[in-house]
Amino acid sequence: MGVYDLIVRGRYVVTCDAAMTVIEDGAIAVRDGVIAAVGPAEAVGRDADRLVEAPERILMPGLINMHCHAGDSLFRGLVEDLPLEPWLETVWKAERAILNRQTCRVGAELGLAEQLIGGVTTVMDMFWHPEATVEAARELGMRLATGGIFFDYPGMDGKFADARPGDTESFFAEHAGNDRVIVGVQVHGTYTVSPEALKVAGAIAERHGAFFSTHAAETEVEQATVSERYGRRVVEHLDDLGLLGPRTVLAHCVHLSDDERAAIARSGTHVVHNPLSNLKLASGFAPVAALHAAGVNLTLGTDGAISGNDLDMFLAMRLCATLAKAATGDAAALTTHAVLAMATRNAARALGREDSLGSLEVGKAADFVTLAIDRLHAAPLFDPITHIVYSANRADVADVYVAGRELVSEGRLVTTDASRLIAEARALVPAILASVGRA
Ligand SMILES: [Zn+2]
């Protein structure tokens, strides 16, 4: 028996600690699923039950996708290149016809497995039948942040608004004490949920000390709708209802007034930037550099596969960095360090898990990735963080560990059969096409 369960040695260890420390010829040692040592390989030693030598790899924290609807992967590419309203009409028709607990499970497993193999170890997900997403995450061995949905209209799960608070409470009760499931409240948006229901959702989140997540200020139409209905803008509305704060996570925040931006910064509210979704749906350019300058804790997301088509967090990082520069006309806007922090340590903070997730530091969970650098696009490699943000891609992900357990090995899923997932998704194609009159 070694001192440690596992030691992985790599060319670089990108820790994502507060100083974004990089250790050349470094190693991570794991005991009982937790990082027991991290440092120069010689200092960490070799005394482990399993020793992995990876001289052509970067070791980095598992990425955290802070906004996703994994189950929507079933509808990837179904309808494209239409304005938002007719596009949504078709997607909703298909969702209404197809989604049930079992198909949500198929979609969730497909979407989560795609992310896991791409280096993501924790996902914040908002979708119908969140218990199906929990099952999928458990099967794969990933961490999941999710919870009861709030939506005023009859949902794709066949439920009505009055069932939502009870369902949300049951979800908390069921997953209390499970460190793989971070439970919170998932509110669709201020234009689809009444002020009364928003307050109920906020009170539940507060009672459990849990996150309160919602779409906010994604489009101009949303801002106009909320302004007309309530006489105030989306983030002002949330602020007036007492719903901003350090447990609140707002997805998008593309269209913000100066006052809204200030309110987000002042309250310690977290923001999830979804660059690909914003680009493809022509939502606009989120003021990421300005939010960063205002001290807002920024995180990154892929959104669902109906609005971004894939769930690639490496692409999200690269788009985030390049878009911030293009949108501000400042090539110095948003550094590589800031962008990598968004996908790792900032996300852990937004989840209230900065003590256990988001960086490779002693005492934190052993959630990490090995990234292959024996690739043409990785040479010559002056700086591993620059490489991760600007030239690496998810196909470079070799191994993925969660709590020290290897879930992806040499680019292959360990805990599930990828070909089964593909077959299950393809089996639904005839029914999906029929649901939108294209059989
Ligand atoms: Zn979304």
pLDDT on residue 104: 98
Query: Interior CA angle at 35 toward 29 and 38, to 5°?
Result: 55
Q: Is there a contact between 148 and 168 (Cβ–Cβ < 8 Å)?
A: yes
Query: Interior CA angle at 356 toward 296 and 206, to 5°?
Result: 60
pLDDT on residue 87: 87
* Structure tokens that stand for 338 in this block: 């800031």
- Say whether 117 sits in a helix, a strand or coil: helix
Tell me how far apart the alpha carbons of residues 87 and 306 are, in angstroms, rounded to a whole number.
10
Tell me how far apart the alpha carbons of residues 200 and 161 are, in angstroms, rounded to a whole number.
12
Q: Is there a contact between 10 and 54 (Cβ–Cβ < 8 Å)?
A: yes
Cα–ligand 1 centroid distance for 98 (angstroms): 19
pLDDT on residue 283: 93
Tell me how far apart the alpha carbons of residues 230 and 383 are, in angstroms, rounded to a whole number.
50
* CA Rg value for the chain: 21
pLDDT on residue 62: 99
Size of the chain, expressed as the number of residues it contains: 439
Amino acid found at 44: V
Cα–ligand 1 centroid distance for 190 (angstroms): 13
- Say whether 17 sits in a helix, a strand or coil: coil
Cα–ligand 1 centroid distance for 138 (angstroms): 22
Cα–ligand 1 centroid distance for 228 (angstroms): 23
Tell me how far apart the alpha carbons of residues 404 and 31 are, in angstroms, rounded to a whole number.
8
Strand pairing of 405-409 and 412-413? antiparallel
Tell me how far apart the alpha carbons of residues 299 and 349 are, in angstroms, rounded to a whole number.
9
Tell me how far apart the alpha carbons of residues 348 and 359 are, in angstroms, rounded to a whole number.
9
Contacts of 166 (CB under 8 A, 6+ apart): none
User: What does the DSSP assignment read for 195-234?
Assistant: HHHHHHHHHHHHHTT--EEEEES--HHHHHHHHHHHSS-H
Tell me how far apart the alpha carbons of residues 170 and 317 are, in angstroms, rounded to a whole number.
35
Token pair 């769930």 is found at 311
Contacts of 96 (CB under 8 A, 6+ apart): 156, 435
Amino acid found at 432: I
3-state per-residue secondary structure call for 142-170: CEEEEEEEECCCCCCCCCCHHHHHHHHHH
- Say whether 295 sits in a helix, a strand or coil: coil
Cα–ligand 1 centroid distance for 167 (angstroms): 21
As a dihedral over the C-alpha atoms of residue 173, residue 176, residue 178, residue 183, rounded to 10 degrees, the angle is 80
Burial grade of 93 (CB within 10 A; 0-12, 13-18, 19 or more): middle
Cα–ligand 1 centroid distance for 75 (angstroms): 14
Reported pTM: 0.98
* Digitized pLDDT (tens) for each residue of the chain, 439 residues in all: 899 999 999 999 999 999 999 999 999 999 999 999 999 999 999 999 999 999 999 999 999 999 999 999 999 999 998 887 788 889 999 999 999 999 999 999 999 999 999 999 999 999 999 999 999 999 999 999 999 999 999 999 989 999 999 999 999 999 988 889 999 999 999 999 999 999 999 999 999 999 999 999 999 999 999 999 999 999 999 999 999 999 999 999 999 999 999 999 999 999 999 999 999 999 999 999 999 999 999 999 999 999 999 999 999 999 999 999 999 999 999 999 999 999 999 999 999 999 999 999 999 999 999 999 999 999 999 999 999 999 999 999 999 999 999 999 999 999 999 999 999 999 999 999 999 999 7
Cα–ligand 1 centroid distance for 149 (angstroms): 12
Cα–ligand 1 centroid distance for 353 (angstroms): 22
- Say whether 388 sits in a helix, a strand or coil: helix
Cα–ligand 1 centroid distance for 78 (angstroms): 17
Cα–ligand 1 centroid distance for 416 (angstroms): 26
* Structure tokens that stand for 197 in this block: 């229901």
**Strand ranges in 96-158 using DSSP code E only, listed in sequence order:** 120-125, 143-150
pLDDT on residue 387: 98
User: What does the DSSP assignment read for 31-81?
Assistant: ETTEEEEEEEHHHH-S-EEEEEEEEEEEEEEPEEEEEE-GGGGGGTTSS-S
Cα–ligand 1 centroid distance for 195 (angstroms): 20
